[in-house]
Amino acid sequence: MSLDDWQLVVGLEVHAELATNTKIFCGCANSFGDEPNTNVCPVCLGLPGSLPVLNRSAVEFAARLGMALECTVQPSVFHRKNYFYPDMPKDYQVSQYDLPINADGTLELPDGSVVGIERAHLEEDTGKTTHMGGGGRIHDAAYSLVDYNRAGVPLVEIVSRPDIRTPEQAQAYATELRAILAATGVSDAKMEEGSMRVDANVSMHKPGEPYGTRCEIKNLNSVRSLGRAIRYEMERQVQLLESGERIVQETRHWDEDAGRTRPGRSKEQAEDYRYFQEPDLVPVAPDDEWLASIRAAMPMLPAARRTRLAAQTGGDVDVALVVERGLDDLVLEAIAAGGDPGRLLVHASNNLSAGAGELSARPFAELSKLEATGALTATQAKTVLAELVTAGGDPAAIAATRGFEAMGDDALAAAVDAAIAADPEAWEKFKAGDRKVTGFFVGLVMKTTKGKADGKAVTALLDARAQS
């Protein structure tokens, strides 16, 4: 079998929960992790006689995403998608069908490739079923419990065109889309909490021939799983195709532990959803003025933010991560306040998580300056930074309280010389060019100075001694 003879074709369907305060058709709180069945009312429980009323914020959030994805934001209509499922209160899902709010967009990835967006439409989420007994699997469960807190949470379903050609590109698409959802405030886009869910349509064909039959891979709970599942599916499909078999169009579930996909529903068993226009809602026709105000309030998107940050910091792979964590504004402000760009970027990509707690730009800048001038070592700076995140304050004062005085050059030189003297055998190796023992000497100096030494300065001194 040779994958080289085959071309992968992937289209992604991403569901993202909108970060609105309330649900899409009622006033219940849109909140993750609450006590089951506490954020419910007659409407989201689908009680007889109840009627939906569209949440204006949900339309606004969807339109904002559509604009971020360069879609045409257009008048739209809701349809009912009919099928029976216990966690769906009305046994139909209110969704959009032939007239979605957003159509025909694009998403440009960091590598410059462009993936087409077919549509990004609004719909309601279902409840969540937990199967009790029998190891949590539906077939041998003793009974099931349903939590309707999630029922009626607004979703956008973003459908890409089948433009993706490698597993890495699929991962980059999911990552970039997640960054856009977060940056626009449309969704918190947490795959681990299910507020962003990715399904992958995967097929293989030989270049120049028509596209192959696709399988839809579900249950992908991380960007990593997405890549693994596509790679598995490529091999599975090519193996079948090269042994002369046909691919069955079906839904397959990714099993993270087993590292494989398993068959689900095939096309022959597929539901007929009997879509028809939802008679309880009226068509959505956002007026131009409102759309213009949404466009005017559009925050800067990740791609532009990456370019902006790279321009200030000299460009680095860390830039994407810093923007993804939403720390680029903080870094840029700290640079403007005189901070050291390199040190700031290192901290933002290695030592901070999204949010950055109590840390503000000015102390962050001060910290990087202390570090750049050698007043604090990298290790000390990291400790001070952690305290700035939890409690805020003045970096110099924190360093003083902790006894992080800058180590004098003489003291450092003495410590290095002591380390060299302690192991002449290792020192001979170092002098002979064996750089593997560098870490040994640095560690020794750190130990004797109780971490006050700057690792880079120690290495520089070792090099100087070796050459003299």
Partner 1 sequence: MTTAQQIADAVRAGERSASEVLEEHLAVIDEREGDVHAFNLVMRDEARAAAVAVDAGDRTGALAGVPVALKDNLCTRGIPTTCSSRILEGWRPPYDATVVARLAAAGAVFVGKTNLDEFAMGSSTENSAFGPTRNPHDLDRVPGGSSGGSAAAVAAGFAPLALGSDTGGSIRQPAALCGVVGLKPTYGLVSRYGLVAFASSLDQIGPFAATVADAALLLEVIAGHDPLDSTSLDRPLPPLVSGLGDGVEGLRVGVLTELVHAEGIAPDVRRRVEAAAEALADAGAKVDEASVPAASFGLSAYYLIAPAEASSNLARYDGVRYGLRVDAENTAEMNAATRTAGFGPEVKRRIMLGTYALSAGYYDAYYGKAQQVRTLIIRDFAAAYDSFDVLLCPTSPTTAFRLGDKTADPMSMYLNDVCTIPSNLAGDPAISVPFGAGDDGLPVGVQLLGPALSEGTLLRTAAVLEGALR
Question: What does the binding site for partner 1 look like in residue numbers (CB under 8 A)?
Answer: 42, 45-54, 80, 82, 84, 86, 89-92, 144, 146, 272, 274-276, 279-282
The minimum distance between CB 89 and partner 1, in angstroms, equals 7
Q: What residues have CB less than 8 Å from 102, skipping those under 6 apart? A: 62, 63, 65, 66, 69, 71, 72, 73, 74, 117, 119, 120, 121, 156
Q: Which amino acid is at 236?
A: R
Closer to partner 1 by CB, 90 or 305: give it: 90
The minimum distance between CB 275 and partner 1, in angstroms, equals 8
Distance CA 244, CA 235 (A): 14
Closer to partner 1 by CB, 136 or 314: give it: 136
Tokens 């949900």 correspond to 58
The answer to whether residues 8 and 202 touch, using CB atoms and an 8 Å cutoff, is yes
The minimum distance between CB 53 and partner 1, in angstroms, equals 5
Closer to partner 1 by CB, 85 or 440: give it: 85
The minimum distance between CB 39 and partner 1, in angstroms, equals 15
Distance CA 36, CA 241 (A): 46
Closer to partner 1 by CB, 276 or 290: give it: 276
Tokens 């009312």 correspond to 41
SS3 118: strand
Closer to partner 1 by CB, 40 or 309: give it: 40
C-alpha 386: how far from chain center: 23
Q: What residues have CB less than 8 Å from 341, skipping those under 6 apart? A: 312, 313, 314, 331, 335
Closer to partner 1 by CB, 86 or 443: give it: 86
Question: What are the phi and psi torsion angles at 29 (to 5°)?
Answer: -65, 140
The minimum distance between CB 283 and partner 1, in angstroms, equals 10
The minimum distance between CB 91 and partner 1, in angstroms, equals 4
Question: What are the phi and psi torsion angles at 338 (to 5°)?
Answer: 95, 10
The minimum distance between CB 149 and partner 1, in angstroms, equals 14
SS3 463: helix
H-only helix segments in 267-423? 288-296, 302-313, 318-324, 328-336, 341-350, 361-372, 378-391, 395-401, 409-422
The minimum distance between CB 54 and partner 1, in angstroms, equals 7
Distance CA 386, CA 70 (A): 39
Closer to partner 1 by CB, 25 or 173: give it: 25
Closer to partner 1 by CB, 25 or 364: give it: 25
Distance CA 236, CA 245 (A): 11
